[in-house]
């Protein structure tokens, strides 16, 4: 009998669900996806969640045993209440995502975590940071997110929001007086922000794909924009590695492929920004799991509880429902 987890990933552009086995394999035909987006209504987003969850559950194979569900969501999240308030989906503020899934899985445990921490868990379980006790995984895409594993366990924090690396501040990149958002790593280094910076400096493209093509052609403003993004990510890695004495940082996400050597640029920037020698030893490597990482990390919330930093309220819920 195959033991399976329902994995759910809610983000700013899509919501996905799939069935995942104990070895981290997605069950064929179970991966479902629906669009989200800031223009959607709360009812439409709730329907999208229900559609992908129901579709994944319908693919449960004969002989498969469903053990529970893991959910990764854009944050902030509230582990005690089970709600999510994605910054890039403001209409979903306070959405009871855990209950939405629990209603489809009576008497089975449902665990919720931030999507970035799920990605870190996936890379620690099956990917680029496997076997390392202290690591961070980062996604550089339309936004910047991440999560951390310390002492071999996922770090969730008091509210469940540990790992919001995109919301830390980086120095030397400008910003607007009085606007805290304008000096965050995400505001400097994300694909969206990098395209915006390049356009302000005379570049004529409109997208990350255009930026990649301009870099391939050697266009100097495009290259300056990408180097600026990598410098900010490297600075954030240097700061976090100094604070937590990390073994490795895995860097992924769509924008991390804007140029073939983006991770190399980040690695060199991290070295330049490091003050203390021990922090310079951190490995900066490409993430290994790609777009499957959020789902695999959500599944690991069920399959690998030994890797999960337990939340006391979640623990009580699990005991009461098993």
Q: What is the pLDDT of residue 1?
A: 62
| Of residues 183, 157, 155, the one with CA closest to residue 169 | 183
- Other Cβ atoms less than 10 A from the Cβ of 313: the count is 12
User: Average pLDDT by consecutive 10-residue portion of the chain (322 residues)?
Assistant: 92 94 95 94 95 96 94 93 92 95 92 94 96 95 92 89 93 72 89 96 96 97 97 97 97 95 97 95 96 95 82 39 36
Q: What is the pLDDT of residue 87?
A: 87
**Residue 22 DSSP class:** T
Cα 68 to the chain's mean position, in Å?
A: 21
Torsion of CA 208, 273, 76, 293, to 10 degrees: 60
Q: Which domains does the chain have, with CATH numbers?
A: 2-114 (3.30.420.40), 128-288 (3.30.420.40)
Look at residue 59 and give its three-state secondary structure.
coil
Distance between CA atoms of residues 102 and 81, nearest Å = 13
Q: Are 57 and 104 in contact (CB under 8 A)?
A: yes
Buried b (16+ CB within 10 A) or exposed e, 88-103: ebeebeebebbebbbe
Strand ordering across the sheet containing 14-21:
32-35, 14-21, 2-10, 64-73, 110-114
Q: What is the pLDDT of residue 178?
A: 61
Angle of helix 293-303 versus helix 115-126 axis, rounded to 10: 80
- Other Cβ atoms less than 10 A from the Cβ of 62: the count is 5
243 burial class (0-12, 13-18, 19+ CB within 10 angstroms)? exposed
Look at residue 265 and give its three-state secondary structure.
helix
pTM, rounded to two decimals: 0.89
Distance between CA atoms of residues 180 and 187, nearest Å = 10
Q: What is the pLDDT of residue 17?
A: 98
Q: What is the pLDDT of residue 179?
A: 63
Q: What is the pLDDT of residue 219?
A: 97
175 burial class (0-12, 13-18, 19+ CB within 10 angstroms)? middle
């Amino acid at each position: 009998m195959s033991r399976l987890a329902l994995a759910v990933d809610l983000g700013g552009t899509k919501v996905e669900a799939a069935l995942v086995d104990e070895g981290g394999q997605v069950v064929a035909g179970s991966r479902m996806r629906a669009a989200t987006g800031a223009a959607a209504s709360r009812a439409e987003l709730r329907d999208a969640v229900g559609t992908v969850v129901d579709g994944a559950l319908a693919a449960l194979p004969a002989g498969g045993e469903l053990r529970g569900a893991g959910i990764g969501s854009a944050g902030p999240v509230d582990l005690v209440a089970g709600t999510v308030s994605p910054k890039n989906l403001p209409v979903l503020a306070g959405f009871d995502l855990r209950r939405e899934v629990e209603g489809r899985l009576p008497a089975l445990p449902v665990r919720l975590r931030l999507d970035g921490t799920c990605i870190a868990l996936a890379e620690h379980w099956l990917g680029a940071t496997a076997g390392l006790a202290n690591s961070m995984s980062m996604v550089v895409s339309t936004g910047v997110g991440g999560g951390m594993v310390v002492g071999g366990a996922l770090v969730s924090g008091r509210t469940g929001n540990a790992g919001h690396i995109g919301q830390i501040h980086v120095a030397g990149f400008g910003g607007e007086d009085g606007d805290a958002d304008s000096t965050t790593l995400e505001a400097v280094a994300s694909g969206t922000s990098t395209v915006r910076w390049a356009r302000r400096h005379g570049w004529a493209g409109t997208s990350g794909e255009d930026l990649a093509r301009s870099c391939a052609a050697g266009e100097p403003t495009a290259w300056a924009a990408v180097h600026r993004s990598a410098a900010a990510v490297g600075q954030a890695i240097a700061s976090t590695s100094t604070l937590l004495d990390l073994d490795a940082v895995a860097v992924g996400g769509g924008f991390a492929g804007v140029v073939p050597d983006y991770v190399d640029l980040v690695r060199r920037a991290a070295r330049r920004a490091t003050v203390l020698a021990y922090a310079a030893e951190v490995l900066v490597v490409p993430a290994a799991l790609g777009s499957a990482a959020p789902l695999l990390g959500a599944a690991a919330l069920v399959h690998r509880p030994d890797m999960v930093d337990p939340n006391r309220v979640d623990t009580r819920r699990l005991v009461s429902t098993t």
